[in-house]
Structure 1
Amino acid sequence: MADDDGLVFYTNPMSRGRTVRWLLEEVGRPYRTELLDYGPAMEASAYRAINPMGKVPAIRHRGTVVTEAAAICAYLADAFPEAGLAPPPGDPLRGPYHRWMFFAAGPLEAAVTNKAFGFTVPEGRERTAGYGSYARAMDALETAVSGGPYVAGDRFTAADLYLGSHIGWGLAFGTIEKRPAFERYWERVGARPAALRARAIDDALIAGRQHAPPA
């Protein structure tokens, strides 16, 4: 059954949906989770009607479908302003808020993914790649997390959540350098109660699937 907000969350606990789960826990409103396995479930026509890419996460909120983790985070932060996860329209902090959230979704993720796959931008083609080089992306990331407690002023926002998710994952799996600034930032944002709740929910789902009897 739909909840009062009409908010449905499509995810897999071993996906970028973990970031969106954290955002949902920060919002604190009821939501219904639809778990999808990789493979046929995500490729089925019913789900492809929600996300033609056949991947998670996605949300449906009162008839509106949003895909892509950064877009979902930005959407939910605006849809539930009482959670205080986004500077309001007209606030000058809206600039750095959007800047660093979409830096993470674009240049940072591209740089980290290419490094993980062993791809190096050919010399002289850095501008074509968009992020320049992995080293430049890491330096920009350090700039983002070193200017204050959070990337858009003194208050935690969805941009910190999204950026922090990238940093926490990257530090754990070695795709982001272990610079002191990154570790301090992750310690600060990753210890939030909503982050801990979200990780516990998804980790329990993973454990339950690992121990489930074969069908």
Structure 2
Amino acid sequence: MLTLYHAPNSRSSRVLTLIEEMGIRDEVALRPVTIRRFDGSGGPDAANPHPEGKVPLLDHDGTLISETAAIMLYLTALFPQGGMAPPPGDPQRGAYLTWLFWYGAVMEPALIVARSGLSHPAFTATWRGTDEVTARISAALARGPWLLGERYSAADLLVHSPYAWFREATPDDPAIRDWVARCQTRPAVAAMQARDAALMAG
């Protein structure tokens, strides 16, 4: 049995979107939990087995998988028919995996540092900065409408997500802005938003 520990309107909403994209809603039970929010509301939930009290967390028959990219990799491998990842052996598999792990290792830290107004040589030496993030995404989109060219994947879903949450952080680059808009108009996003709204309502 698959169970997703989820808090609406949070990072785990990306996994909920992936579930909708893959057509596996009936395969994954949803377990809403509370989390500590940026505005100070909420708090840890004793029902959440995540060691840091965060979301998302996927429980597969007692095996726990945390971190969004790891969960996306796990689900797309478990349900390859969902079509959200190039399979092993596909020439685009390497690029797909690179984008998933680049997001957490480079992109999100760089965006958080910039949003926080922090500056230190160690940050730019390790993660680079928002200019490098923008350049890398823009270069990929010059080759096609999606990060992998003509194929929309979980990589697009993950990498565009901070720009969907924080519109002011979106680079002033037409290709990136159009890409974010394309990602946001997919039916799975509307389905996720409806599920999150229902959970918030209660």
TM, length-normalised to structure 1: 0.82
Displacement of 1:99 in angstroms is 1.4
| Aligned residue number for residue 67 of structure 2 | 68
Q: Which residue is equivalent to 2:143?
A: 147
Aligned equivalents of 1:112 and 1:73: distance in 2?
21
Aligned counterpart for 2:158 among listed residues 162, 165, 176: 162
Structure 2 vs 1, CA of residues 125 and 158 (structure 1 numbering), >3 Å: closer, same or farther?
Answer: closer
Q: Rate the CA distance shift 1:145–1:205 in 2: closer, same or farther, 3 A.
A: farther
Q: Deviations over 1:70-95 (max 9, x none)?
A: 11111111110011111111111001
Choose 1 or 2 for highest CA Rg. 1
Aligned mates of 1:34, 1:20 — CA distance in 2 = 13
The within-5 A match list for 1:52-201 is 52-122=51-121, 126-127=124-125, 130-170=126-166, 172=167, 174-201=168-195
Are the aligned partners of 1:164 and 1:189 in contact in 2 as well (CA < 8 Å)? yes
Cα separation, 1, equivalents of 2:141 and 2:111: 17
Runs of 5+ consecutive residues of structure 2 not aligned to the other structure? 37-41
Q: Could you tell me which residue of structure 1 aligns to residue 35 of structure 2?
A: 38
Query: How much does 1:41 deviate?
Result: 6.3
The CA RMSD measured in Å over matched residues stands at 2.0
Query: Among 18, 22, 28, which residue is 1:23 paired with?
Result: 18
* Sequence identity (%): 34
Q: Distance in 2 between matches of 1:17 and 1:125?
A: 26
Q: How far does residue 199 in structure 1 lie from its aligned partner after superposition?
A: 1.6
1:100 touches 1:144 (CA, 8 Å); kept in 2? Answer: no
Distance in 2 (CA, whole Å) between partners of 1:190 and 1:65 is 29
**CA displacement at 1:153 relative to structure 2:** 3.3
Select the residue among 192, 201, 204 that pairs with 2:198: 204
Q: Distance in 1 between matches of 2:123 and 2:56?
A: 32
**Number of residue equivalences:** 195
Give the CA deviation at 1:43. Answer: 5.0
AA aligned to 2:179 is Y
Judge conservation of contact 1:121–1:133 (CA < 8 Å) in 2: no
- TM-score (norm: length of structure 2): 0.87
Q: Distance in 1 between matches of 2:192 and 2:114?
A: 28
